[in-house]
A and B are shown apart, each in its own frame.
Chain A
């Protein structure tokens, strides 16, 4: 239910920006733009991440990007660490003006750890305990968002990302890493091509 609410709010936001986009202007986005952001990204699981992103436009419609999420609060039960990195590409829709809507696909990996030592009862001896290890888990993500280049060096952005993955530790239970992550904020952009 919460995920739906966030999705609808986000879509309304995108459409209102799209409606405001001025059709008479030329498209701002061009190849050679490097954009970078640092923001706080809350997720539907209750987790909060510090998100960093670097993206380079190879073409007005295409960019390659890398994202990193450093977990600062964990919504999933039993997790003490959940950080992730992603790399992939974004497809940008052609618009006139400074509005830049896009969707993206980014596989990635999560570095996760469970919260406590896990013990098993080995009858008749005392329980054997093992430390929870830091493990890497494959992830994939898709999402969409927008940039609004309101200034030569800066832009506003908003993004919604669905992440799919699972933490499979050496002791049960496996923990789902699937969630919706939302991010919004200001970013910097630089031109590497005239």
Chain B
């Protein structure tokens, strides 16, 4: 693990050292909307959601993304899980970095978010449990610039929640009918993969000095 971190640091510093001194990308502000899919969660059901983000670029190869998501999951027709995320990520561009039409800009992404989860039985009983927690996320993605100021982005991040989880488990009851157990579990490292498709528009240049 240490070796890998050292290698990543070396690669990053080598790439940054290659950069021209003039920083002309910093200050670019993008606004976007996105569709998110949540997969490989502990309960095994896929979530689907909508969200938005803005990005503020601090350097040629360094961007920050500030996002919010609203995700719902149908748990076997017996419960509904609702997740709200609000968080931020740092994006590092190891290859291309300038917003130019027809350009692919792959990135490495890492960050943190706060989230609120509610799991409700959908049998009319109105029974629900909720929790606040925090998460860290990291992943890969790529932007595809349609024009100089609009891009489509696809990213996949693994989001690891820190704190108590709400588990929903469907099991066979005494009459062989499906029943569901919803309960808060002890602090655990529960995670899921978050795949996002977004469209982003460059809306302002806050402080950059274009070449």
Contacts and interface: CB of A to CB of B under 8 A. Distances in A.
Interface of A: 58-59, 61-62, 64, 87-89, 91, 105-109, 118-120, 128-130, 136-140, 164-166, 168-174
B201 A140 contact: no
Q: What are the 8 tightest A-B residue pairs by CB atom distance, in nearest-first order?
A: A138-B50, A140-B35, A120-B124, A171-B124, A168-B80, A138-B49, A89-B199, A107-B35
Interface stretch (B58-66, B104-112, B143-151): B143-151
Interface residues of B, number: 29
Interface string B112-143: 00000000101111100000000000000000
A191 B14 CA distance: 48
A59 B197 CA distance: 22
B123 to A, nearest CB: 6
Given A62-B150, A88-B199, A172 B123 contact: yes
B24 to A, nearest CB: 20
Given A59-B147, A107-B33, A137-B72, A171 B122 contact: yes
B107 to A, nearest CB: 20
Contacts of A169: 122
B74 interface: yes
Interface of B: 33-35, 48-51, 70-72, 74, 77-78, 80, 120, 122-126, 146-150, 152, 197, 199, 201
Nearest to B73: A168
Contacts of A105: 152, 197, 199
Contacts of A119: 124
Contacts of A88: 33, 199
21 contacts: A58-B201, A59-B150, A62-B150, A88-B199, A89-B199, A105-B197, A106-B33, A107-B34, A118-B124, A120-B125, A128-B124, A138-B50, A138-B71, A166-B72, A166-B74, A168-B80, A168-B122, A170-B124, A171-B122, A172-B122, A174-B122
Contacts of B34: 107
A61 B122 contact: no
B49 to A, nearest CB: 4
A135 B163 CA distance: 28
A29 B21 CA distance: 39
Most B CB contacts (10 A, CB to CB) among A130, A168, A173 go to: A168
A171 B122 CA distance: 5
A109 B48 CA distance: 12
B77 A172 contact: yes
A84 B77 CA distance: 23
Given A58-B147, A105-B197, A107-B51, 4 more contacts: A138-B50, A138-B71, A168-B72, A169-B122
B123 A138 contact: no
Contact of B201 (A89, A130, A138, A166): A89
Contacts of B125: 120, 128
B124 A89 contact: no
Given A62-B146, A62-B149, A171 B123 contact: yes
A106 B201 CA distance: 13
A140 B148 CA distance: 25
B35 A168 contact: no
B33 A168 contact: no
Contacts of A118: 124
A130 B147 contact: no
Contact of A174 (B33, B35, B74, B126): B74
